[in-house]
Chain A
Amino acid sequence: MIASLAFGVLAVVLLASALAVVLTRNLFHSVLYLALSLTATAGVFLSLDAEFLAAIQLLLYAGGVVTIVVFAIVVTERLVGDRISQTSRQLGAGFGIAGALLVAILAIFRRSPLPIPRPAVSGDLTRAIGQSLLTTYVLPFELLGVLFLAALVGALYFARPDD
């Protein structure tokens, strides 16, 4: 009962803030609503008993990504005044495509329901993730480090001062 109530509240907050992200005119407000929706997603992860995912969601997304986007807005737009307001175009076509996709997905859900019962939590999920990350998935894990190095060097190269 409490679980479904919490899920309902999280879902409403998540969808409302996501709609605000794509509809609000002020780009800075859009980023703040994105932070709210990312935090709500962390709550959804918590409702799935995935505490580790919720933690890295808050650390990397709500902490890192939002900060980077705010920096990019400060560099490319002015934080006050007309420049930060953004317009949308072809709202009808975009709504049509997104709505058609949603209807199609929901129709698939109705045709083939997935009556999978929720299994009880078996052991510590965080421990299981850690063990799996350093045994089965150790190669992708190391490649992730290479990717981060490349992204770091690439971002520094792109954003270097003019010479």
Chain B
Amino acid sequence: MTLQAYLTLAAMLFCIGLFGVLTRRNTIGILLGIELMLNAVNINLAAFARFLGDVSGMIFTVFTICITVAEVALGLALVILIYRIRRTAVADHLDLLRG
């Protein structure tokens, strides 16, 4: 497969994830959309690393995957904390800072 095919696949995946982030109301749903977007970025990095014969892109993919896991763990801890205080996981209900 050509590099173009991988990049197109990643672009589609990124846009699907962006659509999820923009339209979901549940905070966990928004996090799932972010996961999809990060996956698209990983595919891009790995594809460029493979086609350019440079292993650095794969190293970056390893770092992205690890940092994403840390991000998800912290993000969901925050969701649970907010749920405990406000009894909701819907992003629209979190309007404490609205003037």
List A residues at the B interface (Cβ < 8 Å): 3-4, 7, 11, 14-15, 18-19, 21-22, 27, 30-31, 34, 37-38, 41, 44-45, 47-50, 52-53, 56-57, 60-61, 64-65, 68-69, 71-73, 75-77, 86-91, 93-95, 97-99, 101-102, 105-106, 109, 113-114, 116, 118-119, 122, 125, 128-129, 132-133, 136-137, 140, 144, 147-148, 151-152, 154-155, 158-159, 162
Q: Are B89 and A158 in contact (CB under 8 A)?
A: no
Q: Count A-B pairs with CB separation below 8 Å.
A: 214
Q: Are A22 and B19 in contact (CB under 8 A)?
A: yes
B23: shortest Cβ distance to chain A, in Å? Answer: 4
Q: Are A116 and B52 in contact (CB under 8 A)?
A: yes
Question: In the complex, which of the residues B9, B29, B58 contacts A53, with contact meaning CB atoms closer than 8 Å?
Answer: B58
Question: In the complex, which of the residues B65, B70, B79 contacts A148, with contact meaning CB atoms closer than 8 Å?
Answer: B70
Question: In the complex, which of the residues A7, A19, A69, A151 contacts B16, with contact meaning CB atoms closer than 8 Å?
Answer: A19
Known: A147-B67, A151-B70. A44 touches B89 (CB 8 A): no
Question: In the complex, which of the residues A18, A49, A140, A159 contacts B63, with contact meaning CB atoms closer than 8 Å?
Answer: A140
Q: What are 12 A-B contacts with C-beta separation under 8 Å?
A: A22-B17, A22-B20, A22-B36, A38-B35, A48-B6, A89-B92, A101-B15, A102-B11, A106-B8, A133-B62, A152-B73, A158-B81
